[in-house]
Amino acid sequence: MAPQRRAAARGPDCCGAAAGPGRGGRRCHGSAKRSQGQQESWWRWLRALFLLASAAIGALVSWRYLGAEDGVTEVLAQHQENLQDKFIEIPCSEDYDSQKRFEGCTPRKCGRGVTDAVVTREEAERIRRDVRQRIQQRIAQAFGINSSAMYLTKPTFFSRINNTEAKTTHDEYWHPHVDKVTYGSFDYTSLLYLSDYSEDFGGGRFVFMDAGSNKTIEPQAGRVSFFTSGSENLHRVEKVQWGTRYAITISFTCNPDHGIGDPVLT
């Protein structure tokens, strides 16, 4: 009997030449299509995931950028609060090193504070000399200096801000600035607010522009905010959107040559 021939074993590739044109070939083509479909589905999923991740990253970057532009990340004093005393110490800048130092007055301790316990709402409507003295004493207490070493300095001014369009660059109050750079004599700055945020006006909050985390103060009538005047306290005022914001800036110097007498209110 002639020996039987064994069929050659098929290779692992079902779509090889051994498959022939029969059913195996049709099954192989179907399997290839399914494999290709799964691959395309996988790539579609990856593309969707990539787009979603890109959108999330873009949203995060935009949020951080807009948040930095808005400059409001933490409110130090809300207008509804009644703050007896709030003080935050921060490192002093080098601004005070380039000028003559007056021992017991020139800032060695720097920071910012806000209180509703110095002036009542009623007193805010009729400012007198004793109000200035009480603010001066509170600043001296907060920074550990002698109030008698502080002198009222100019400009001490009343501000009335609304949403009227600025006519000159001097009217553009919203730009970031440092008081010691703008007004060379300033060592300590204070503001006495005479109107209420969100009730008498919108916008107009006071913003300390710290690196990475800005702080805001919401004005209320009778509230006093105060701070050392160097670049450790870079700040700005938000644009007033509606209503009118009233405040008085009362500033102090350690240099008696830059001191002025109390203004007379008539």
Q: pLDDT tens-digit profile of 243-263?
A: 999 999 999 999 999 999 876
Residue 19 pLDDT class (50, 70, 90 cuts): very low
Asked if pLDDT for residue 38 goes beyond 80, the answer is no
Residue 35 pLDDT class (50, 70, 90 cuts): low
Distance separating alpha carbons of residues 183 and 179, to the nearest angstrom: 6
228: Cβ contacts below 8 Å, ≥ 6 apart: 92, 107, 110, 111, 112, 143, 187, 188, 189
Q: Do the Cβ atoms of 125 and 246 come closer than 8 Å?
A: no
Helix (H) / strand (E) element for 63: namely helix 23-70
Whether residue 245 lies in the annotated active site = yes
Closest CA to 246 of 201, 187, 180: 201
Asked if pLDDT for residue 201 goes beyond 70, the answer is yes
Total residues found in the chain within this entry: 266
Q: Residue 227 is encoded by which pair of tokens?
A: 């701070």
Query: Which residue of the set 112, 205, 223, 245 is catalytic?
Result: 245
> Which runs of consecutive H residues, i.e. helices, occur in 98-254?
121-124, 129-143, 179-182
Query: Across residues 175-186, what is the average pLDDT?
Result: 94
pLDDT of residue 62: 41
Provide the whole-model pTM. 0.65
Proportion of the chain above pLDDT 70, given as a percent:
70
pLDDT of residue 51: 61
The type of residue at 230 is: G
Q: Residue 57 is encoded by which pair of tokens?
A: 């990253």
The type of residue at 235 is: H
Distance separating alpha carbons of residues 44 and 231, to the nearest angstrom: 53
